[in-house]
Amino acid sequence: MIIKKGFLVLLLAVFVVMFANFLGNYTPSTDPGKLANFYLAEDSIEKLGSANVVTAIVVTYRGLDTLGEVSVLFLVASILGFFLTGTKRKEDEVVHAPSELLKTASGILVPLTFLFGAYVFINGHLTPGGGFQGGAIIASGSLLAMLANPFGHFKHTIISVVESLSGVTYVLLGGLGMVLAAGFLDNNILLPIGKVGNLFSAGAIPLIYSLVGLKVGTELSAMLIKLRDTGVEQ
Amino acid sequence: MDSLTIVTIIIGVIMTLSAIMAVYHSDTATAIIAAGMVSLMASLLYVFLAAPDVAMTEAAIGSGLSTIIFFYALSKVRGGKKDDH
């Protein structure tokens, strides 16, 4: 026991020395680095037509990484679905009934939350936020709906159809970039680049981010619904 | 010190205290709330550091959805009943 505690203290001391060293030698860098400079170059905004440079980097230059993130999320949702299919929830299992306040407020707030989520991912190329953020906001909207009516029924077919279709269309749009433009997930396909700052600009970026938003939103909602509908292990 | 540094230090102290509380508190529900607090403060810090994209993700997923998922898991594990310590 004492050896274990002593070892922990020693480990902590090593970390303190290490981080104190980092902090002492820290000077803020003024140059973002070679790769970042390439992404942030003056012509990159004009070339991609995206007012939000972060979105331009995430969807086009680093589009493959975004596809990887979406696949990781899909994998997690699948594994959760695999483990949570055992027991069905009984009708009398819920302990807390929702309050009148929550029920009334959710009627107004849930549609507004969905609308805000859609706004965030449709305007991903103009304002901060994008597919993942908008999808998470949509999922919190469906969470609010679930808290307001614990026995409310969600149409599982619609959710899985939207999820699968948006995922497949995302990959197909990426493939179109290989045929029509410079490479996989290039944004310069069929759609015009347009004027920077307009809603219909930046080529395929708004389209791709809307698909990502729909996929993430339905996926997270499906995960929450599965968590709610699974019964307690006896 | 400029005001940004002071605000950053205050947020950092709150984050550290919440993290310690999340680990050591005996009531699991309080610990989950404290863990959500860490994420909320982190997202505030991202806003001050001019990274609104990251802040939105952190606020929605870190402090919103994951807290609720923890609560769902907690209710499933306990079966709606309280543990007797």
A91 Cβ under 8 Å from any chain B Cβ: no
CA distances from A34 to A41, A61, A98 (A): 11, 14, 54
Closest CA to A130 of A45, A206, A196: A206
Asked if A193 and A202 touch (Cβ cutoff 8 Å), the reply is yes
- Give the domain extent around B65: 3-77
Residue B16 domain-assigned (yes or no): yes
Q: Is B71 exposed, middle or buried (0-12, 13-18, 19+ CB in 10 A)?
A: middle
CB contacts under 8 A, B 10-49 vs A, are none
pTM listed for this prediction? 0.79
Residue B82 domain-assigned (yes or no): no
pLDDT per position as a tens digit, A69-110: 888 988 988 888 788 776 666 655 555 677 888 888 888 999
Q: Can you give the pLDDT at residue A151?
A: 76
pLDDT band (50, 70, 90) for residue A148: confident
Residue B39 domain-assigned (yes or no): yes
Task: Please give the DSSP secondary-structure letter assigned to residue A230.
Answer: B
Contact residues for A222 (Cβ-Cβ < 8 A; gap 6+)? A77, A81, A156, A159, A160, A163
B9 Cβ under 8 Å from any chain A Cβ: no
Residue B12 domain-assigned (yes or no): yes
Q: Can you give the pLDDT at residue A60?
A: 79
Instruction: Tell me which of A5-19, A38-52, A131-145 is least confident.
Output: A38-52
pLDDT beyond 80 at A166: yes
Q: What number is the average pLDDT over the span A145-153? A: 81
CA distances from A59 to A52, A211, B14 (A): 11, 12, 35
With an 8 Å Cβ cutoff, are B57 and A133 in contact?
yes
CA trace torsion B57, A139, A171, A123 (10° rounding):
-60
Residue B50 domain-assigned (yes or no): yes
Task: State what percent of residues in chain A have pLDDT above 90.
Answer: 9
pLDDT beyond 60 at A129: yes
Q: A191 or A5: whose pLDDT is higher?
A: A5
Token pair for A183: 């490479």
Secondary structure class of A88 (helix, strand, coil):
strand
Which chain B residue has its CA at the smallest distance from A132's CA?
B57
Task: Count the alpha carbons within 13 Å of A167 in the hemisphere toward its beta carbon.
Answer: 19
Q: Which residues of A touch B73 (CB under 8 A)?
A: 227
Q: Can you give the pLDDT at residue A92?
A: 58
Q: How far is CA A139 from the centre of its chain?
A: 10
pLDDT beyond 60 at B82: no
Q: Can you give the pLDDT at residue A95?
A: 55
pLDDT beyond 80 at A49: no
pLDDT band (50, 70, 90) for residue A233: low
Residue B85 domain-assigned (yes or no): no
pLDDT beyond 50 at B33: yes
Task: State what percent of residues in chain A have pLDDT above 70.
Answer: 83
Most confident listed range (A190-199, A201-210, A214-223, B34-43): B34-43
Q: Can you give the pLDDT at residue B80?
A: 47
- Number of domains into which chain B is organized: 1
